[in-house]
Chains A and B, each alone.
Chain A
Amino acid sequence: MSSDDLEALALLHDPVRRSLYDVVASRGGDVGRGEAAEAAGVSRTLAGHHLDKLVEAGLLESGFRQQERKGPGSGRPAKVYRRARGERSVSLPPRDYVTLASVLAGVVEALGAEERAEEVARGAGAAIAEGRRGEPVERVLGERGYEPYAEGGKVRLRNCPFHVLAEEQPLLVCSMNLALCQGLLEGLGDDPGRAALDPRPGECCVSLKQTDIDIEGG
């Protein structure tokens, strides 16, 4: 943790900034100022001010959207915002679990204990589901930062909660994450076969098959 992290996160205490951040993060791509303003229910000017503050703090990144029409009369390229790729964490007093996790992941690799690690992860998933039988898995995953969204008959997960370690030890961490999601499904009384490895750049490595039952429609 650095004092920068603390300052960046303190910025999110402001409800307008928080909702603008949430809007940009949940779209998963470039979001224009007008679009963000509308979704957060504030004026474009106010949204612009706060969005730029979030960029300054390193929580968002900004860029310019290519104009479809080029040349005179096409106007300035629109400024867009997206979530910054880095991550922030704060713990008081300072604790450094990422380094410990990285060391432990190294130990698993050195021992060739990947399968045991997956078993333990499956158990951890089941433990998360403890007392929540019957709840939709999307809700539980959402609470744990996976940011589920529907796409093409699947529930995709926009955010990998284990990002730093997954970059360092992708095979181990993604396999453990899959096992954890399967254990979670099982614990909720759902079908563990819904979760499968389905990685693509910039997202969590797991996706879930959409169930046949339409929960929204009842």
Chain B
Amino acid sequence: MATVSVPLRKKRRSPGRLVAEIVCCVIAAMVAFPLYWMVLSAFKPAGEIQSATPWTFAPSLESFERVLGSNGFGRYFLNSTIVAICVVALSMLLSFLSAVALTRFRFKGRTVLLVMLLVAQMVPVEALTIPLFFMVQQVGTSAPAFGLNQLAPLVLVNLAFSLPFAIWMLRGFVAAVPAELEEAAALDGASRMRFTWQVLFPLVAPGLVATSVLAFIHAWNDFLFAQTLIFSDVDNRVLPQAMRVFYKPEELDWGGIMAGATLMTIPVLIFFIFVQRHLASGISGAVKG
């Protein structure tokens, strides 16, 4: 990464920069501290949880064992994973198709659709819990798999609410593929369908990965819709709800809660590190235009 030091007044090493670097490191440590404390507390043995010692010489897995062994945490983890994977896969497919249509096809009402897509992002979907609750209840009477306390409606709801943004972000990636490629493919006799899947799709793949991480986080984090739609079936709960199970004001098991939080954060962190280069290039690439 090349630096463009904004004020170019002094290019040489200056005491100012050293101060800035020290401040930078201190702030980085402060930002990382909650996460460090979370992981540390998860590994501390039961007796040390309450102490403010910022390290431990006897790391133990007992908190993790307690979490994984009780209250069906593993089951909830699996449920959350299933929901998130379904949302990611479907979101990639649907947003790719829509982004292609919105960027590479010219048709009446395109601008209207784009504005609607923008407006859709502003809808406070959290307010829709009430109608969606009744809707899912009703659907459930004829199609039980899509009714209350099932994972399928959760997938659809999370998919729908992460779509507008996914399409919007992917648009930039699809538009960045030069039109000459499309002309060349057409000259070679490739159909529109073939061009879309064999040329466009591989070229847009990094963008798809970057947008998919946002759909993943959306689904993985959702608590409100899970709490509303899966309110009584204990087996079909998802991870954010499981965290609530551990939080009992009477007997706070902070070690267990921190272990659970760590387990919940790890998949997102892995996903993030995996795609962060694409995410950054997506953002900066779009900015350049």
- Does B bind A? no
Q: Which A residues form the contact surface with B (CB < 8 A)? A: none
